[in-house]
Structure 1
Amino acid sequence: MKKKLFALLMAGVMVLSLAACGGDKKTDEPANTDAPGTEEPATTEAECPLNLGYDVETGTEAHGPYWDEWSDMTDEELYEKAKEEAAAGADTINVYATSSKMLKVVDKWNETYPELKLEVSDLDSDEVLSKAQIENETGNITADVLQTKDVNGNVFFEYYSQGIIEPFYPRDICSHIDEENLTFSYPLYASQAFWYYNTEAFPDGQPITSWWQIIEKNEDGSQKYRLYTKEIGQETAYLSLFASFINYSDEMAQSYKDVYGEDLEYTYDASQFPFEVPENNAGVEYLWRFSQAKMTFIGDGDELVLAVHNSTADDPALALASAGKIGNRDESGYNIAWCTNLTPYNALLNVESMFAVAGCDNPAGARLFIRFVTGGADGKSGGLKPFSKEGNWMLRDDVEDDWNPEKLADLGARANDLDAIYWNYPNVQDMWTLWLNQNPNM
């Protein structure tokens, strides 16, 4: 009950804080004077730490893209301002990044902007956020830019609200990105996880078309596929995916009926939890059944796909791993391929995003770097090159990611709905943990 109460309290706090913040979200549309809540905003933008809070013109919570005074500045204008910042003593633009590939951007940056020193710190995702939070709390802000991903809403709902980061959406570049991929952050690139199968064992193509078939059983009750994955409960992205199945339970139920020609039977026990679990929810049923399957947890992605490579038609295996592990096919000769377009959807997009740090010493330099690393005005700055590998998709429509064998739109993934997942995530984590501990096969 404490967890549910906390979630409800947090929801109330967020609603109140969002309603109190009169952000300056500029739009090209005329103000809607009939919209509720637009008459007298309680605070000004300067008084509100949440820049991405409440749209006074429409009376709604504001998501991206979010336009401000930085959005229409060109590379040249930002460069001049960044040089002024450097001359005033802020001589280093500091980037906290979760990808080691960000280090490979430095040389191209120095070649393009020799007067601006760049320092990249390669950290894990927890370090990126915790260091930025500590710096904000102590007033000793070092970071100018953060690069990380938000798969369960933690960054969007907590770090914006604390005034640790602030959005930056360059309008010209955003015109080349689908708006659904701008809702919660400004993207660097997108990736996803796939189920891998053995191409030698299944020469005619992937053996499954639905998530339900992954946990399918033979007539004798034995499991059809050996399953390999990282421990779901320790992988935020995977838990978020399962949370999304609960949010889209109707689609999960329809997928089951399409495969088996009959309605899904619900077998989970919701009474085991100190919070409300929805009844007859196909996503919950899937979580329960998957948690009771026989699985092998392997922390290393290369070893996961190796297990698939070593499997046979008589003893087939599937492994859930990041898209980039497909590189083992060419580098190591593995007989592996992605399972694509699984119903109801293949995966959630994991978007690596760029954030400006609130109160940093180099606000112009930070935004110049964000533009640079995401391709610049024409997509040809060179900043994207280190991230251009198979399994990463650029979300700009003017950048051709010909290193991937298939287009992102053809793979069956969908954008992450962090609004829904954030509030559902803690309970899903508890459900998984309890049910996994009841698994007789583990």
Structure 2
Amino acid sequence: MRRDGPRRGQRGRRPPTPAGRIRRLRRRITLLFALVSAAGLVGMAVIAVHADDSSWRAQVDADLKLRTSEFSADLRYDEQGALEYPDPKEGVYDCPPVTLFTGTGGQVTPLAGPHRPCLAVPGPALQAVAEAAGRDGDLVRATVTAANGHRLRLSAQAFTGPAAENADGVVVAAVDTSGNLDDHERLTVLLGVACAVLVAVSALAGHWLAGRAVRPALTALDQQEAFFADAAHDLRTPVTSMRLLAETGLRGEADGREVLRRTLRQSTRMSELVDDLLTRARLMAGAVPLDREPLRLDQLVDAVVADTPAEGHRVTVRAEPVVVLADASLLRRAVANLLGNALAHGHSPGEPADVEVTVGADGTVAVDDAGPGVPPEQAKSLFERFRSGAGSSGLGLSIAAWVAHAHGGSLAVERGTRGGARFLLRLPVQKQP
């Protein structure tokens, strides 16, 4: 039976890892952040450019209208109805240049113009806009290009004679808008550059913020991978021991009762290890709520010591009455882990452990043993992550440290007075009312 091979484009591609998917999500967040910022900035830039263009054009038209209106207001008619207008040599036509046309309807002819104009306005353009204003009897505007390439704005306004029936003439004013256009183009370029810079800055900021956002997820993945690796190592030891015991019992090479006894001991150890693993996973996920209540720390320590099988070891308790506000079950677990660690490692091989537990009035629980102690180079990182070794998973110390920090306390290790390790669990003491 024929099997379909991998599709084109998917051949040789591996599925992304969880860390790869998170990094790809970071890139997508960065791109989305940049696109949203670009859309907003470009939109505001377009509005600003359009507003600036409308503003300067409206200002130019208003100035031209004022110029033609003032000039029209200065025109006079004598008693015979003849038009009287200023002499061009007086300079009133020169800047902005004004041209006076006379005639009715669309038939107008130039009557007076600037003597020394500051602008060279094309004659055909002046004639065309004047004819349009005379024909319509209203204000007419137009934009033309001069011989030197400058853009000119023309405004033609019709005026009426004494009869006030038809337009008697037209006044045309002109102004050079090249400076306004240059300023507008500079503003457009400036806003474009500013938008590009701001989009780049927003992309960098989005990349940084996305990195901050996904960093806990990447850290959790690293912790999870380390957790699975160490958990697999710790579970492999009791499983292998139980398998060897089962094979030995099947071959009949050992006493059956002894095999069952050792199997029971290994299964108990595995059960405790699995319980520690589940507790550690819940603590890492933040799924363990704290049920704080006032409790006697000295009584809790006495109960933990009484419930812990010593198996030939010696445990001495010296406690002072003290009340702390804590979660009883979690605190009991932390003290039990410290005591179990001291009983397991706080003695020389083949010798019973001698452990001393001290509860101080300041909310400190000190667990001293007479074992080999903890090397100074390992003391700082002992509680950062669980460690395997000497037949122990090391999860107990990690759980105890988390419980201490969750209650606002701390867990530290130092060299004891008897040469062994001294674990100090500090908890805040409840203030008396």
Calculate the TM-score normalised by the size of structure 1. Answer: 0.20
Structure having the larger proportion of residues in helix: 2
Structure having the larger proportion of residues in strand: 2
Calculate the TM-score normalised by the size of structure 2. Answer: 0.20
